[in-house]
Structure formats: C-alpha cells, structure tokens
Amino acid sequence: MQKLKINMWAGILDIINCVLFAMSWFVIFGAAFSDAAAGTHATSGAGAFFYILAWAGVVLNIVALVQSRRHNISIVGSVLGIIGSALFGFTAILAFPAIVVLIIAAVFVMMQHPAKNGNNASVN
C-alpha cells in the first residue's frame, strides 16, 4: 500500500495546531488584558493568526480526504481533522474539544490504513 505525503503533512499540521490552540487562549486573553489597560483594540489581530491556521487545517485535511479516498486509504483521520480544525475555526472557545479531536485525527491520519470495503474482504 502506498503512503501519501499529503496525509503526513495533514497529521503534522494537526499536531502543530494542537500546540497552537493550547497557546491561543493565553495569547488572546493576554492581548485582551493589555488592550484594556492600554485602551487599544489589537485583540482581533492576535486571534486572526490562530483562525487562519485553523482554516488552513480544514483545507489541508479536505485535500488529504480526497487523495485518501482516491487511493483507498481510510478517511477517518481526515474527517476528524476537518472537524477538529473547524471547531476552532468557528470559535476559540472550542479550543479544548478541537485539541482532543485533532490528537485523535493525527494518529489516524498518520497510520494510513487501507479502507475497509466489501470488495476487499478476503475469503477463507
């Protein structure tokens, strides 16, 4: 069975996003508190970086899903990667569930098991 590089990159981005999403609350809250003290409004810039990476994760996992399906590789990891990245992409409040789902997604994406179809069943 062929291993796809796009799946490896999707898994790596899922792991990176886990770390970034864990840091995001501290960065966003820190920016909010410093904005309140200084009277400025730069919090949206701090959050934009994390949202851009979340949506990049959605796009990369969609590409991995299409390629995995084309090469008869299980799509469980890609689907979980899309869900995990989209959770954070909609709101940073869902950072913890996104982290949990992305950890599981990274494991499944990097394993790259063959898809289980009725056509591939062996007869004993």
Q: What span, in angstroms and rounded, lies between the C-alpha atoms of 87 and 26? A: 18
Judged against a pLDDT cut of 80, whether residue 91 lies above it is answered with yes
Please choose, from the candidates 43, 42, 50, the residue with its C-alpha nearest in 3D space to the C-alpha of residue 87: 50
CB atoms within 10 A of CB 49: 13
Domain range list for the chain: 5-114
Give percent helix, percent strand, percent coil of the chain, each to the nearest 5.
80, 0, 20
Overall average pLDDT of the 4-14 stretch: 94
Judged against a pLDDT cut of 70, whether residue 71 lies above it is answered with yes
Give the Å distances, CA to CA, from 47 to 4, 23, 51, 111: 32, 11, 6, 32
- Please tell me which residue, 57 or 116, carries the higher pLDDT value: 57
**pTM summary value:** 0.83
> Would you give the DSSP letter of residue 100?
H
Ranges 44-48, 56-60, 88-92, most confident: 56-60
